[in-house]
């Protein structure tokens, strides 16, 4: 089980380098298309769908990129911990610390769509323990809390 610790959250080129290093440690190549998909996703300020990402990459590349190609890359990225999937929105966010393994806790604003990712290993460990006690083997717990962010709640 992961432990609590402080994160350095890289941005921009540093985040892309961290993602590339993580993917390569997993035995995968960091291709130009994978770099484009990651860069496009990291450029969104809210979770983005594969279609949003395909459109952004198509504009950057100057050629049409199919959403199916983006989905395959996103699946690889989720498996390598570069990207997190917001299940209820079928959308994705770049993992701000791809070298660290934590279960997902998302706070999803129903008004503006802003999504905040939290790490709380104590809480997610409890979810894993409860699943295990029920005879279930948890692989990738995702907890989503829907509501209103501070800005949309008037605060």
Residue numbers belonging to the annotated binding site for Zn(2+): 109, 112, 149, 152
Q: Which residues are annotated as a binding site?
A: 103, 109, 112, 149, 152
Q: With 0-12 CB in 10 A as exposed, 13-18 as middle and 19+ as buried, what is 63?
A: exposed
Q: State the binding site for Fe cation.
A: 103
Q: How many CB atoms lie within 10 A of CB 154?
A: 6
Q: Hey, what's the torsion of the CAs at 72, 131, 6, 80, to 10 degrees?
A: -20
């Amino acid at each position: 089980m992961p432990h609590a610790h402080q994160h350095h959250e890289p941005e921009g080129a540093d985040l892309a380098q961290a993602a590339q290093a993580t993917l390569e440690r997993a035995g995968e190549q960091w291709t130009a298309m994978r770099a484009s998909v990651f860069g496009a996703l990291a450029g969104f300020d809210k979770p983005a769908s594969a279609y949003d990402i395909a459109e952004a990459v198509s504009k950057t590349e100057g050629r049409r990129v199919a959403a199916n190609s983006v989905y395959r890359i996103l699946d690889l990225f989720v498996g390598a911990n570069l990207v997190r999937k917001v299940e209820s929105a079928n959308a994705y966010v770049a993992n701000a610390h791809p070298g660290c393994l934590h279960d997902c806790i998302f706070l999803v604003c129903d008004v503006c769509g802003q999504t905040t990712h939290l790490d709380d290993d104590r809480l997610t460990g409890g979810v894993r323990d409860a699943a295990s006690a029920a005879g279930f083997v948890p692989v990738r717990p995702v907890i989503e809390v829907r509501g209103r962010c501070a800005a949309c709640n008037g605060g």
